Amino acid sequence: MKAIVTRRFGNPPETVLEERPKPIPRAGFTLVRMRAATINQLSGTIRKGDFGFPEAPLVLGNEGAGVVEESDRFAPGARVAVYGHSDLGVTVDGLFQEWALIRDDRLLPLPDTLDWAQGSALTVNYLTACLALTKAAKLQGGQSVLVSGATGSLGHAVMQTAGALGARTVALVSSARKARRAAEAGASAVVDSSSREIDEAIAELTDGQGVDIALDPVGGPRLGELVRSVRRHGTVVSLGFTGGRQATVDIMDLLTGERVVTGYGVHGDSDVEITKGLDDIGRLATEGRLRPVIDSRYALADFEDGYARLPSRDAVGSIALEL
């Protein structure tokens, strides 16, 4: 079978397309003929050698979708989405290959309403969104949720999931074009930081009170701005660092508002929480309330073009590798 193998991490990395043996089925695992996987920030960070412990050579890819070929749990031919947790594409070979052997409890039945690329983007970002909202932020129905980077793959998942859970969503974007996309995606309100001060816009939208919750996939300077945008006793949840790993927070914003700043990382969560989260997003997807947005699709041999697209500020949604 064909597999994309990163032989050396670094900038630039050494990644090649090579032939490898097809995985051999075993108990507790499902053999999946992969149809699509996402090129995401995790694999991009690993490829550059910035993640720490992964060792090359390694097949990357931590979320995807495909067809069951052999399984004790799923019928042959079943369509499934794959969640790689903290191992696939990190410590063991992942999903950038034509067949993959997946733990049974890491698979989610894929609704027929989603194509392969959309299915490949259904697990990591939507699990992160669902568990960050319900577990880290303790979302209650009717609360307001501000989402930075709302047209990115994770930001869109957070915004869509928050809406599906009964929240009023405020999309924070960086251009007029992205503002239009966020409005089309169903945001209750949109703030374009290229044309307005965030504090001023949020105060206007909330009668000066601030939003209940802010979720931040961007990081960097944006985190401190979001702290000022939440109400007294409000919560900010950090989810990523596409805008930088270092953030400055005014301590007075924390003290005077008794605000909470926390973080959430799905790959460190327990199997119990992950199973519950997969059930929840599977139900919401089947109901038609979750639908990943695909920015672009690349053939197996064109994976480098997908990685070139990954850091682009023009990307809206997930980048899919068609296998």
280 domain residue, yes or no: no
Structure tokens at 138: 């303790």
Contact 191, 198 (CB under 8 A): yes
End-to-end CA distance of the chain: 11
How many other CB atoms are there within 10 angstroms of residue 194's CB atom? 11
Q: Dihedral, CA atoms, 238, 240, 218, 285, nearest 10 degrees? A: -90
In this structure, the answer to whether residues 203 and 116 fall within a common structural domain is no
Residue 200, helix vs strand vs coil: helix
In this structure, the answer to whether residues 135 and 262 fall within a common structural domain is yes
Please give the tally of structural domains in the chain. Answer: 2
Widest pairwise Cα distance in the chain: 61
283 domain residue, yes or no: no
In this structure, the answer to whether residues 296 and 262 fall within a common structural domain is no
In this structure, the answer to whether residues 69 and 109 fall within a common structural domain is yes
Residue 318, helix vs strand vs coil: strand
234 domain residue, yes or no: yes
Nearest CA among 155, 99, 120 for reference residue 297: 120
Backbone dihedral angles phi then psi of residue 263, each to the nearest 5 degrees:
-135, 160
Query: Looking at residue 242, what is its pLDDT?
Result: 81
Backbone dihedral angles phi then psi of residue 36, each to the nearest 5 degrees:
-160, 155
Output the domain CATH number for residue 316.
3.90.180.10
Backbone dihedral angles phi then psi of residue 185, each to the nearest 5 degrees:
-80, -5
184 domain residue, yes or no: yes
Q: Which domain holds residue 146?
A: 128-266
In this structure, the answer to whether residues 215 and 114 fall within a common structural domain is no
274 domain residue, yes or no: no
Q: In tens digits, what is the pLDDT along the chain, a chain of 323 residues?
A: 999 999 999 999 999 999 999 999 999 999 999 999 999 989 999 999 998 889 999 999 999 999 999 999 999 999 999 999 999 999 999 999 999 999 999 999 999 999 999 999 999 999 999 999 999 999 998 999 999 999 888 999 999 999 999 999 999 999 999 999 888 888 999 999 999 999 899 999 999 999 999 999 999 989 999 999 999 999 999 998 888 888 888 899 899 999 999 999 998 899 999 999 999 999 999 999 999 999 999 999 999 999 999 988 778 889 999 99
Residue 241, helix vs strand vs coil: coil
Output the domain CATH number for residue 243.
3.40.50.720
Q: How far apart are CA 38 and CA 41, in angstroms?
A: 9
In this structure, the answer to whether residues 312 and 246 fall within a common structural domain is no
**Entry pTM:** 0.90
Using a 10 angstrom Cβ sphere, with 0-12 exposed, 13-18 middle and 19 or more buried, the burial of residue 260 is: middle
Instruction: Name the DSSP letter for residue 301.
Output: G
Q: How far apart are CA 196 and CA 49, in angstroms?
A: 37
In this structure, the answer to whether residues 166 and 79 fall within a common structural domain is no
In this structure, the answer to whether residues 107 and 170 fall within a common structural domain is no
Q: How far apart are CA 151 and CA 221, in angstroms?
A: 18
Structure tokens at 205: 């939208």
Query: Looking at residue 184, what is its pLDDT?
Result: 85
Query: Looking at residue 10, what is its pLDDT?
Result: 95
Residue 229, helix vs strand vs coil: helix
174 domain residue, yes or no: yes
156 domain residue, yes or no: yes
Query: Looking at residue 152, what is its pLDDT?
Result: 87
